[in-house]
Amino acid sequence: MDEILKVSNLKTVFYDNSREVHAVNDVSFSIREGETFGLIGESGCGKSATCRSIIGLLKENGKITEGEILYKGKNLVKMSRKELEKIRGHEIGMIFQEPMTTLNPVVKIETQITECLPKTMSRADKKKRAEELLKMVGIADAGQRLSAYSYELSGGMRQRVMIAIALAAGPRLLLADEPTTALDVTIQDQILKLLMDLKQELKMSMILVTHDLGVASQTCDRIAVMYAGKIVEMSDVHALFLNPCHPYTRGLLESIPTISKKGSRLIPIEGMPPNLKKLPEGCAFAPRCRFCRSICLQQEPQLQEVETGHFSRCHFRGEPEGEK
Amino acid sequence: MKEFNYIIKRILQMIPALLVITVIIFAGMRLIPGDPAITMLGTHYSDAAAEGLRHKLGLDQPLFFQYLLFLKQVLTFDFGNSITMNAPVWDLFKQKAVVTLTLTLVTAIFTIIISFIFGYAAGMSRHPLISKTIDSIALVMLSIPEFWIGIQLMLIFGLNLKLLPVGGWGSTWPEHIRSMILPAISGAMGTSALMIRNIEEEITKIKKQDYVDFAYSKGLKKGVVRNRYILKNVMVSTVTLLSMRVIGMFAGSVVIETVFALPGLGSLLMQGIMARDYTLVQSLVYIFAVIVLVMNLLTDISYSFLNPRIRLE
């Protein structure tokens, strides 16, 4: 399979009162055609910033300082605004976390879909296509909903509309930034299933950003775990869940409640993620790590291949000997 | 149908409001010291003449009867004659309203042009220097009284450059419009300053919204996002402010009309108050009240077009 997206050594910095916040710090990964790639981690670990860097929509105080993002061989970082406008929507689409605030409140749904369609289409064709798109995302009375405004729809419905809009121009790669986080659990499942079905049907690739390991395990082919702006572990989904190598990944997995663990206490990861303005020397996770050794506090580990296609950023290659 | 019911309801709600207004106007006018008979007679004053005039004007009737008479005028929209100007109030109103209406219209146009250009520039600009400069100028404009701006403009464009008339209304439409330019600019400054700050604030707020990012992520052109996503949402609050100020201009352009010697409603009202012309002032203020109420209703109706979340119910 060909690579559709290749991110190399991406560094994204946010400027907060002239202090630099390293939101994305030397991140590299690639996504193959048709693959679902999961980016997981705690809030503020750089998942969303990575997504926004790819589509060129960082907030005003954010900037990509290093690295390249190759989409089908073309570097998105070096593109002009005009070139990016052609990529956005048509090649790379994005769906956002908050369905309540992501639709324009004063414009009808129909317009928000049809404006993404090619200008060469006639009005009637556009309307027909918009209705098809709404049907595709499982909205029953699609024809009527076209003339609705976003405030007239429920959260789950808005998320469906948002997906329909993002898919309108037929993107090949979909960035889904926590698409289900703001929804009820029952709706979450429906939306997730819808996304996976659509991905299959339209043969898209997808980056799924989530902090929910359960969601990631069900949907992703490969997963990258991010911590403090860096990828700490990356592998295909089975290896990651069966043989987690990085202590952070292990910590995350141990903190998921399951039925079989019922009665036993969950093991939390102690402490807080580090301040991105002032990263500690050595391994960023060391202060919270159960297996921390003196080398961890002095020297930053590199991302090393533990087994084929399975990378971990830990000095101990996944075999830390006992707790400290 | 709901919309129709809403409008009917709103019109019915105006009735008690207008009744209260008649009481306030009537009482307010009588509470001002002074007597129209004395003012009218001036140097020809004698006790007998004043008595006769009061009788002629109906001012010797008990206050309650005078109020009922006023109510009758209000209800029939036949306001009677002005006491001092010897002409029907309605005719005077129509004649002067043309001037004030033109002034309001031209002022509103200037306000819209000035405030949207500068508010848009200040809000959209990524350079803090531009927005800060515009902001500071707006703040200064907000603090300068409009009559002072009026006098300065008169000095520069009227007296020194002799480009535009210093005052007056002229006798043909081209003259009317020319004579409106300076007063309208003076009147537009304060409101524009308010609007600039409002538009800037709204744009800064709205351009950070998720739906704007989402719009860009769809591949929409910058212009489309700015018009359909940012400006359209900015309009919701801006129209409220503008309409409130325009209504205010129509009913309260006394200062500008006085500075530029424009024979409009503001000047008429001032003359009426000075002469204690009860009929004229009462009727004028009442007409203003009706206009304000109607304009408010129209504004509320226009909201439902701008902001679909507002329903007329």
Rounded to an integer, the average pLDDT of A53-66 is 91
The length of chain B in residues reads 313
And the tokens for A211? 């902090």
B255-303 pLDDT tens trace: 888 888 889 898 898 888 888 888 888 888 898 888 888 888 888 888 7
Residue A304 located in a structural domain: no
Residue A324 located in a structural domain: no
Residue A244 located in a structural domain: no
pTM of the prediction? Answer: 0.82
From B254, B123, B117, B260, select the one nearest B183 (Cα to Cα).
B260
> Containing H/E element for A36?
strand A36-40
A105 touching B, CB under 8 A? yes
- Contact (CB<8Å) A89/B208: no
Rounded to the nearest integer, the mean pLDDT of chain B is 87
According to the model, what pLDDT value does residue A206 have?
Answer: 95
Q: Which of B210, B219, B221 sits opposite A101 (nearest CB)?
A: B210
Give the C-alpha separation, A109 to B2, whole Å: 23
A62 touching B, CB under 8 A? no
Cα A62 to Cα A22, A59, B260: the distances in Å are 10, 5, 53
Rounded to an integer, the average pLDDT of A162-185 is 91
Count Cβ atoms within 10 A of the Cβ of residue A302 and give its class: 0-12 exposed, 13-18 middle, 19 or more buried.
exposed
From B104, B102, B70, B94, select the one nearest B242 (Cα to Cα).
B104
A18 three-state secondary structure: coil
Partners of residue B126 in chain A, C-beta under 8 Å: 60
Rounded to an integer, the average pLDDT of A209-232 is 92
pLDDT of B253 > 90? The answer is no
Q: Which residues pair with B116 in a beta bridge?
A: none
And the tokens for B140? 């200064």
Partners of residue A149 in chain B, C-beta under 8 Å: 308-309
- Contact (CB<8Å) A93/B214: no
A165 touching B, CB under 8 A? yes
Of A39 and B75, which is predicted with more confidence? A39
pLDDT of B187 > 60? The answer is yes
Are residues B266 and B9 in contact, defined by beta-carbon separation less than 8 angstroms? Answer: no
What CATH number is associated with residue A184? 3.40.50.300
Measured torsion, CA atoms of residues A309, A313, A316, A321, in degrees rounded to the nearest 10:
-100
A62-106 pLDDT tens trace: 999 999 999 999 999 999 999 999 999 999 999 998 888 999 999
Cα three-residue angle A220-A226-A227, rounded to 5 degrees? 155
Residue A233 located in a structural domain: no
Q: Is the dihedral of CA B239, B242, B248, B251 positive or negative?
A: negative
Residue of chain B whose Cα is closest to the Cα of A55: B217
Q: Which domain holds residue A217?
A: 3-227
pLDDT of B51 > 50? The answer is yes
Please tell me the total count of domains within chain A: 1
Residue A314 located in a structural domain: no
Residue A46 located in a structural domain: yes
Rounded to an integer, the average pLDDT of B240-255 is 83
Residue A103 located in a structural domain: yes
A277-309 pLDDT tens trace: 888 888 999 888 888 888 888 888 999 898 889
pLDDT of B45 > 80? The answer is no
For chain B, which domains are there? Answer: 1-84+286-313 (no CATH), 90-274 (1.10.3720.10)
Are residues A224 and A37 in contact, defined by beta-carbon separation less than 8 angstroms? Answer: yes
Rounded to an integer, the average pLDDT of A23-51 is 92
Residue A322 located in a structural domain: no
Residue B81 DSSP symbol: B
According to the model, what pLDDT value does residue A324 have?
Answer: 47
Neighbours of B86 (CB within 10 A): 7
Q: What's the maximum distance between 2 C-alpha atoms anywhere in chain B?
A: 86
pLDDT of A147 > 80? The answer is yes
> Containing H/E element for A92?
strand A92-95
Strand ranges across the sheet with A92-95: A92-95, A173-177, A205-210, A36-40, A222-227, A230-236, A310-312, A304-307
Beta-strand pair A205-210/A173-177: parallel
pLDDT of A186 > 70? The answer is yes
Rounded to an integer, the average pLDDT of B69-79 is 84
Beta-strand pair A310-312/A92-95: unpaired
- Contact (CB<8Å) B307/A106: yes
State what percent of residues in chain B have pLDDT above 70.
98
Cα A227 to Cα A69, A249, A284, A313: the distances in Å are 20, 10, 8, 10
pLDDT of A165 > 70? The answer is yes
Give the C-alpha separation, B262 to B22, whole Å: 28
Are residues A12 and A226 in contact, defined by beta-carbon separation less than 8 angstroms? Answer: no
Kindly give the interhelix angle for A155-167 and B210-217, rounded to the nearest 10 degrees. 30
Cα A280 to Cα A9, A41, A212, A277: the distances in Å are 20, 19, 27, 10
> Containing H/E element for B48?
helix B47-57
Are residues A160 and A109 in contact, defined by beta-carbon separation less than 8 angstroms? Answer: no
According to the model, what pLDDT value does residue A322 have?
Answer: 55
B100-134 pLDDT tens trace: 999 999 999 999 999 999 999 999 988 889 999 99
Rounded to an integer, the average pLDDT of A259-265 is 70
Rounded to an integer, the average pLDDT of A208-235 is 92
> Containing H/E element for A128?
helix A123-136
Chain B closest-CA separation from residue A72 CA (Å): 18
Are residues B286 and B23 in contact, defined by beta-carbon separation less than 8 angstroms? Answer: no
Q: Which of A106, A149, A168 sits opposite B306 (nearest CB)?
A: A106
B219 touching A, CB under 8 A? yes
Residue A271, Cα to own-chain centre: how many angstroms? 24
B237 touching A, CB under 8 A? no
pLDDT of B47 > 90? The answer is no
- Contact (CB<8Å) A165/B224: no
